[in-house]
Structure 1
Amino acid sequence: MRILLGITGGIAAYKAANLIRAFGELGHEVEVVPTQNALRFVGLPTLESLSGNKIDIDMYHDVSEVRHVELGTQADLIVIAPATASFMARLAAGIADDLLLNAILASNAPIVICPAMHTGMWLNAATQQNVETLSSRGIRVMPPAAGRLTGKDSGAGRLPETQDILEFIFKEQRLSGKSVTVTAGGTREPIDAVRFIGNASSGQMGVALATAALDQGASVTLIACNLEIPTPKGVTVVEAGTVVELQVAMDRKTDVLIMAAAVSDFRVAEPHAGKLSRSAGMTLKLVPTEDLVAGFAKKYPETLTIGFALSESAGEELIEVAREKLRLKGICVVIGNSLSALNSSETQVQYVTQKESTYFHGPKRLVAQSIITKISEAL
């Protein structure tokens, strides 16, 4: 495999030397592209001797050879280690102001990013949003390790050790060979040709779960219910608008079903064919919709079926609400979440089974990764 290793300008750049050697020992050809700032921390002779390739980061040297395109198109895999907050921000914005970023934008190769920075920078909302953006594009972002940082500080932000990075990149992923179906967004039940009964679900959590499952090697189907946010590359997207359309879309064999979509509890008995006039007023007759997740669990008992429970409760009350849904719906797991998570990039949830409950909180992307880890353990 031909690996393009990008090194950006952080103190952890010196660790890239071990990564180059490790790639070589595994039989891979390594093309190293450091940024100008990376060369402030690690010397060019070191990188050239370890990779066995001459390094030239001048974007405008041998322009006729279009080096950034050659680098990008010939790479089988792109790894950025370490990746600074500045680098991730520029990549998320599509800014190509050096050889490395130009090569990445010119490539269709899979990308793995290994961030390294101060804890405050890693947890900053801007950095987390950039990570979400990159993840939504199919880029795998390895969470940084926790421990001693530069100076006296400790916390999340260290570049993981070489072996951990290799395992993240190459190991057999937890959900390899498994099929995962995720529903996301919210259903809309028509009142007339232009109005509908809906809800405030953004679909962020469902998309984050689909992305996390994809990162763990699963074959992922995302059933998108009126989503207005990007879907991750690499998943199969099936569109569904109403409860009935969602029921049809999710009627399939799958190893795991994650019912993250907000499903309307009621529909209009007789939707109007045209546009109702406001001046005429209206009285709507609502009828209950089917309990889709309960029906699915009954039809496919071999599937690990996971539902969500939205509640104003918290703590032990939320756990009890979730356990009651477990009993009523006959499913394996209920994830209890709070109303405060609606349309927010942050969430706090209880992952509840009949035997245990686990609390997760933080950005939805990170919580989704934790949920997928629990699911893979359950399988």
Structure 2
Amino acid sequence: MAVSGGIAAYKSAELVRLLRKQGAKVRVVMTRSAMQFVSPLTFQALSGNPVHSELLDADEENSMGHINLVRWADVLVIAPATANTLAKCSHGLADDLLSTLYLAATCPVYVAPAMNQAMWHKTVTQENIQKLKSHGVIIIGPEQGDQACGETGFGRMSEPLAICNRLMDETPTRCLSGLKVLISAGPTREPLDPVRYITNRSSGKMGYALANAALKAGAKVTLVSGPVMLSPPVNADLISVETAAQMHAAIIGKAPAHDIYIGAAAVADYSPMITEQGKIKKQDDQTTLTLTLQKTRDILAEVAQLVNRPFTVGFAAETHDLEQYAKDKLTRKNLDMIAANWVGRDLGGFDSEQNALQVFWKNGQKNLAMTDKNQLAEQLISLIAERREYERGNKNTA
């Protein structure tokens, strides 16, 4: 648990006590500002472990205390997280033990913000929160109420019991521990000429959220990504591609060595038959332009047909007849599962921070309600692990 410098640090002492009561082993990191509010001795007594505050600890065997700490932890929770701490973490700064610990963390990270209501509502703070969410960080609170400054509003750190319960309920199981997961994400770009291309509206957010969720679940993740404006998940093996042909080559080459393949990318169905070497010019006497397109290779179907095929999960984004098209795709491409969502109805999907899924498999289905894509990804990863284990059990007893 990392404690930054705010009056809410007094609540963190109670949080340590509650976590210990639940059987958790707790080690505490404090910033210098935090030590102005609560004595390190308090946390040492409650946690039963020395408190860490220095980035480079001469008492550590290799003087790399931040690496040793972060490798020890199953979960990192920053409580309270001040506006300054949120800003440093969201921008990747690492000038003290807490921020360096966050940057080196590969485990799930929970953040409990605490600050004045005006600071919480500041645009830059909300931008930092959204950036942390896109990195897979789970935000707890803040709550509304009276503040130490005498003002009232959002910014109070959530109560220790609520944080403790959330951690106990949501700490992800290692349901994919030891497995290799291959995920595709984002759009492809099919060039018309050196300056133009055909693409789609996929942001890649769902695929990247799935990569983060799979990492949290203990998997070794390879992410094949089209061009997106997202930070790559920490510890995923990232392969950047642009065209459908490049994505096909990367995925078909990697798939046999993986246990699970999740095709979340929006791969172009067609690409230009001819890519002009020079820029296509507008002709004064030409009112129309004809482009000849050719079908791209079906990556998902080809993965499902491999001799050493992974457990194969497809995606279907539809504007109508969602269930019919998804079930048809499931059967036609010989998939193990398919996750389907509506697009074009203001119901999440492309460019949105939220989404909802209808997941289908042979003789079964489950609806995952509208929620944040990071939470939705964790739900889907858990379902994939469950279904894969069920299918393997049936094969072994057949």
TM-score (normalised: structure 1): 0.75
Q: Who is 2:73 aligned against?
A: none
User: Are the aligned partners of 2:244 and 2:268 in contact in 1 as well (CA < 8 Å)?
Assistant: yes
Q: Who is 2:366 aligned against?
A: 357
| Pair 306,14 (structure 1): closer, same or farther in 2 beyond 3 Å | same
The letter for the 2-side match of 1:227 is: V
Helix, strand or coil at the partner of 1:237: strand
The letter for the 2-side match of 1:82 is: A
Q: CA RMSD in A?
A: 4.1
Q: Alpha-carbon deviations, 1:223-254, whole Å to 9, x = none?
A: 11122322112111112222211111111212
User: Are the aligned partners of 1:175 and 1:216 in contact in 2 as well (CA < 8 Å)?
Assistant: yes
Question: Residues 64-103 of structure 1: matches in 2 within 5 Å?
Answer: 67-70=54-57, 73-75=64-66, 76-78=68-70, 79-84=76-81, 86=83, 89-94=86-91, 102-103=96-97
The alignment status of 1:104 with 2:98, answered yes or no, reads yes
Q: 2 CA distance for matches of 1:12 and 1:369? A: 29
Q: Alpha-carbon deviations, 1:86-134, whole Å to 9, x = none?
A: 46633444497xxx9722334564265334479xx9xx99888645633
Q: Who is 1:178 aligned against?
A: 179
Tell me whether 340-349 or 212-221 shows the greater mean CA deviation. Answer: 340-349
Q: 2 CA distance for matches of 1:162 and 1:43? A: 26
| Pair 135,55 (structure 1): closer, same or farther in 2 beyond 3 Å | same
Q: 2 CA distance for matches of 1:276 and 1:7? A: 57
Q: Who is 1:133 aligned against?
A: 131
The letter for the 2-side match of 1:74 is: G
Q: Who is 1:324 aligned against?
A: 328
| Pair 45,244 (structure 1): closer, same or farther in 2 beyond 3 Å | closer
Q: 2 CA distance for matches of 1:301 and 1:39? A: 59
Helix, strand or coil at the partner of 1:361: strand
User: Are the aligned partners of 1:19 and 1:162 in contact in 2 as well (CA < 8 Å)?
Assistant: no
Helix, strand or coil at the partner of 1:209: helix
The alignment status of 1:231 with 2:216, answered yes or no, reads no
Q: Who is 1:62 aligned against?
A: none
Q: 2 CA distance for matches of 1:291 and 1:25? A: 47
Q: 1 CA distance for matches of 2:283 and 2:183? A: 41
Q: 1 CA distance for matches of 2:299 and 2:212? A: 23
Helix, strand or coil at the partner of 2:202: coil
| Pair 163,144 (structure 1): closer, same or farther in 2 beyond 3 Å | closer
Q: 1 CA distance for matches of 2:188 and 2:355? A: 21
Helix, strand or coil at the partner of 2:232: coil
Q: Who is 2:338 aligned against?
A: 334
* Residue 298 (structure 2) aligned to one of 276, 280, 291: 291
User: Are the aligned partners of 2:4 and 2:85 in contact in 1 as well (CA < 8 Å)?
Assistant: no
| Pair 224,159 (structure 1): closer, same or farther in 2 beyond 3 Å | same
The alignment status of 1:344 with 2:352, answered yes or no, reads yes
Helix, strand or coil at the partner of 2:235: coil
Helix, strand or coil at the partner of 2:386: helix
Q: Who is 1:369 aligned against?
A: 378
Q: 2 CA distance for matches of 1:101 and 1:23? A: 33
Q: Who is 1:272 aligned against?
A: 276
Gap runs ≥5 in structure 2 = 71-75, 147-157, 389-398
The letter for the 2-side match of 1:16 is: L
Q: 2 CA distance for matches of 1:101 and 1:174? A: 34
Q: Who is 1:60 aligned against?
A: none
Helix, strand or coil at the partner of 2:184: strand
User: Are the aligned partners of 2:29 and 2:98 in contact in 1 as well (CA < 8 Å)?
Assistant: no
Q: Who is 1:220 aligned against?
A: 221
The letter for the 2-side match of 1:204 is: K
Q: Who is 2:14 aligned against?
A: 15
Q: 2 CA distance for matches of 1:336 and 1:230? A: 25
Helix, strand or coil at the partner of 1:191: strand
The letter for the 2-side match of 1:80 is: V
The letter for the 2-side match of 1:262 is: A
C-alpha deviation, 1:205, in angstroms: 1.1
Helix, strand or coil at the partner of 2:193: coil
Helix, strand or coil at the partner of 1:305: strand
C-alpha deviation, 1:179, in angstroms: 1.0
Q: Percent identity?
A: 26
